Amino acid sequence: MIPKKILFCTDFSENSRPAFTLATEYAKAFQAQLLIVHVIDYKDFPGYVDWVEKLREVLDSTEQAVNKRLQSMVQECAHAVKDVKTYCRRGVTAQEVVALAQEEDVDLIVVGTHGRTGVKHLVMGSVARSVLKTAHRPVLIVEGPPDKGETFGART
């Protein structure tokens, strides 16, 4: 199978950088379209659930910031990949990634994972693992460096 559409999922952490690099290289090598998605996960906003209007404001502001970061990622890989689309979704991360993969009929999903093992990995509840279990299409999981938590894609 030669992928024509590759979906890369980012949380903007340094752990996702190796997966971004690989997704870009694959898209270039296969002359594939690269789709980049970030999901604003509702569980990342505790305390606002009862304040619907405030939540909407926070989510709208977050989405604007996400779209800026996604555009900087597009600029970063534009030299290698001709066809890049970005998506900012809201919801449960793994569910939104799988839904987008189905909607866009992607051939390959590339997702990074933290360099955790043992108990830390089990407690984490890996998005990558959830995507792998539910996507029903090829998923390439790329391990990131050991916990750093730095971010990329934010050029000012």
pLDDT band at residue 46 under the 50/70/90 scheme = low
Superfamily, domain 5-143: HUPs (3.40.50.620)
CB 112, CB 152: distance < 8 Å = no
Dist CA 2 CA 41 (whole Å): 31
Q: Is the dihedral of CA 85, 89, 93, 96 positive or negative?
A: negative
| Concatenated DSSP letters of 66-98 | HHHHHHHHHHHHTTT-S-EEEEEEEE-HHHHHH
Residue 119 has pLDDT above 60, yes or no: no
pLDDT at position 125, please? Answer: 46
Model confidence pLDDT, tens digit, residues 71-102: 999 999 999 999 999 999 998 999 999 999 99
Residue listed under structure tokens 């996604």 = 70
Residue 61's CB is within 10 A of a number of other CB atoms, namely 10
In the chain, where the domains are located = 5-143
pLDDT at 143: 86
